[in-house]
Amino acid sequence: MPRRKSLLIGIDYTGSENALDGCHQDVDNVAEFIKYRGYQDTPQDQVVLRDDLANEYSPTGHNILAAIDWLVSEEHTTCFFHYSGHGGQINDPNGRRPSGLLDTIVPVDFEDNGQIDSDMLHQHLVSKLPPSSTLFLILDCCHSGSTLELPFVYRSSEDGEIHKLNTYEAGVALLKEAKEMITGDFSLDREARARDLYAGATSFLRSLRHNRQLTGVRKTVTMFSGCRDEETSADAQINGVSEGAMSWAFLETMKSNGAPTYKEAVITYLT
């Protein structure tokens, strides 16, 4: 059996204007589930970052990146990563994206030290992952559809089938829709929608760049996200308990089928 490591992050932003209710509960639920599936909860095998824990386990930007580097540091390892918290978008500091935006995850100290953008996540999670290891991620946050800028994207259609997207065509289509919205009557809603579409389009197009960079290098990275780039996620009240809707749905799906294919898992999750 390969070595197994897990990193679980839950941020409720307690006491702030950005407070959430269910992210700590998500971590508890996921920790219980993966322990049942063979992951150990010892300090050598699992790191949990929550904003109700001591300083060294607080989900600051520094601690999150350090924990990510620990997660993918070993060869022949099955790595599991779960994040429940805010997802956002920031201005692209290099100005290379048509949208001017980067998708992010949001550490607890984001107001002082900024957010962790998609380029940085890809560098630390995907680029540093040894080819002999695998990585599975659940991102239960807003604007997370292509946060890791992976080269292949699968989505469900209205008929319940799973389809692989042509990332180039999807990016071009999103850019076209955003341009059409901008040339129409101006409104704040239209501007916000156009910015979201541009963000989604550039994430797709950046995934093609990463795919070219990895030519000849085979890595297995699989991500389930809470929503598309242009969408938002939310807490949900389930049996009187606040939980992330995506995390809850994923766990319920896995409980109903102990060893589903990815297609079966996605279809069950969506229904």
Give the residue numbers annotated as catalytic, written as ranges: 86, 142
**263 SS3 class:** helix
CA pair distance 54, 167, nearest whole angstrom? 42
- 246 φψ region: left (φ > 0), alpha (ψ -120 to 50), beta (else): alpha
Q: Which residues of 197-213 are buried (b: 16+ CB within 10 A; e: fewer)?
A: bbbbbbbbbbbeebeee
Q: CB atoms < 10 A from the CB of 94, how many?
A: 8
Q: How far apart are CA 200 and CA 87, in angstroms?
A: 14
Total residue length of the chain: 271
Q: How many CA atoms, within 13 angstroms, populate the side-chain half-sphere of residue 184? A: 13
End-to-end CA distance of the chain: 33
CA angle 63–46–20, rounded 5-degree value: 60
